[in-house]
Amino acid sequence: MIVAVNVHLKKGVLDPQGKAVHHALETLGFKDINGVRVGKQILLDIDTEDKEKAIELAKKAADELLANPVIENYEIEVK
Amino acid sequence: MKVSVIVFPGTNCDRDTKWAFEKIGAEVEFVWHNEHDLKNPDLVVLPGGFSYGDYLRSGAIARFSPIMQEVKDFANKGGYVLGICNGFQILLESHLLPGGMTRNENLHFISKFHHLKVIDNNNRFLQNLNIGEIVNIPIAHAEGNYKVDEDTLKKMYDNGQVILKYCDENGNELNPNGSVDSIAGICNENKNVFGLMPHPERAMESLLGGSDGVKMIEGFMK
């Protein structure tokens, strides 16, 4: 089962990459985009068919390594 | 004094660091990341570089090296640990120091001499410097934008854990990377674990641009 862990900087933390991408989009004429946040998606191929078990495992992996709780939030998404 | 310099795959300031500490009279050993023996040091140094290619987040993978468990035990028993640049990032990821590191505000890799102001000297590392003293030390990083929550930051100030800030040559705050309160260096609550983004080991020789690093790292000799 493929489970995605989507990691983003927390709301209060300035995202310089997002800001630069936003600026580039504005230059291209995308006037209706209010803001951009750049994150990363980590895909875990988990050896189970049990959805809850997979989510629990992904959450543990995110807490221990994939996200840094000081600066980042994450969401888990079963593919 | 015996210094152990930890070497991870991707570390690139290990030899400079060894040279710097030998210059002030220390006995220096390299310790490879998959070893389990710190070789009985008085000080452990995590040098700069790009451990594990900065994969995931700077310092995030190095934290799981076998030697880091030993470094944690050493630090928790009161042993002195200094993290420079990537070494600082590893100490943050290992939770030996509070806070976290994000990309520089302007997204650039910044490599230049930068002035720093001593904020607190009531610790082993900066004991040879005065509060308010300005030193000129090279910085070289893309992720030096230090972040920490407000409550923790307040506690750090109260406890003298904010030790260095970026400034201009006159001591006015000058922030190269977006770091909260222009913070360049900190220590833990017990004042035995230190982390800073600037490279004192690259400021050891006035012929090579400056020697302000000498009196910084000499603090560990006493």
CATH of the domain at B35: 3.40.50.880
Our answer to whether residue B167 is catalytic in this structure is: no
Please report which confidence band the pLDDT of residue A11 belongs to, taking 50, 70 and 90 as the band edges: confident
- Residue written as token pair 């590392």: B125
CATH of the domain at A31: 3.30.1280.10
Has this prediction a pTM greater than 0.90? yes
A70 closest CB neighbour out of B99, B104, B105 = B99
For B27-73, the pLDDT digits (tens) are: 999 999 999 999 999 999 999 999 999 999 999 999 999 999 999 99
pLDDT at B201 (0 to 100)? 97
Q: What is the number of domains present in chain B?
A: 1
Question: Given an 8 Å threshold on Cβ–Cβ distance, is B93 in contact with A68?
Answer: yes
Distance CA A46, CA B142 (A): 33
Q: Does B148 touch chain A (CB under 8 A)?
A: yes
Whether ipTM exceeds 0.85: no
Give every CB contact of residue B192 below 8 A, 6+ residues apart in sequence.
B75, B78, B79, B80, B81, B124
Among residues B54, B58, B59, B14, the alpha carbon closest in space to that of B32 is found at: B14
Task: Look up residue A28 and give its amino acid.
Answer: L
Distance CA B103, CA B167 (A): 19
Q: What is the number of domains present in chain A?
A: 1
Please report which confidence band the pLDDT of residue A9 belongs to, taking 50, 70 and 90 as the band edges: very high
Question: Given an 8 Å threshold on Cβ–Cβ distance, is A17 in contact with B148?
Answer: no
- Chain B residues with CB-CB distance to A14 below 8 A: 102, 105, 145, 178
* Domain range enclosing A7: 2-78
* Domain range enclosing B82: 2-221
Altogether, the residues listed in chain B come to a count of 222
Residue B195 CA neighbour count, 13 Å, CB half: 25
Among residues B200, B21, B196, the alpha carbon closest in space to that of B29 is found at: B21
Our answer to whether residue B93 is catalytic in this structure is: no
Catalytically annotated residue among B141, B167, B199, B218: B199
Distance CA B91, CA B8 (A): 14
Question: Given an 8 Å threshold on Cβ–Cβ distance, is A71 in contact with B100?
Answer: yes
Residue A21 pLDDT more than 80?
A: yes
For A22-69, the pLDDT digits (tens) are: 999 999 999 999 999 999 999 999 999 999 999 999 999 999 999 999
Residue A14 pLDDT more than 90?
A: no
Residue A51, SS3 per DSSP: helix
Shortest distance between the Cα of A31 and any Cα of chain B, in A, equals 23
Residue B121, SS3 per DSSP: coil
Distance CA B118, CA B116 (A): 7
pLDDT (mean) for B146-173: 97
Please report which confidence band the pLDDT of residue B129 belongs to, taking 50, 70 and 90 as the band edges: very high
pLDDT at A13 (0 to 100)? 86
- Chain B residues with CB-CB distance to A71 below 8 A: 100-102, 147
Residue B222 pLDDT more than 70?
A: no
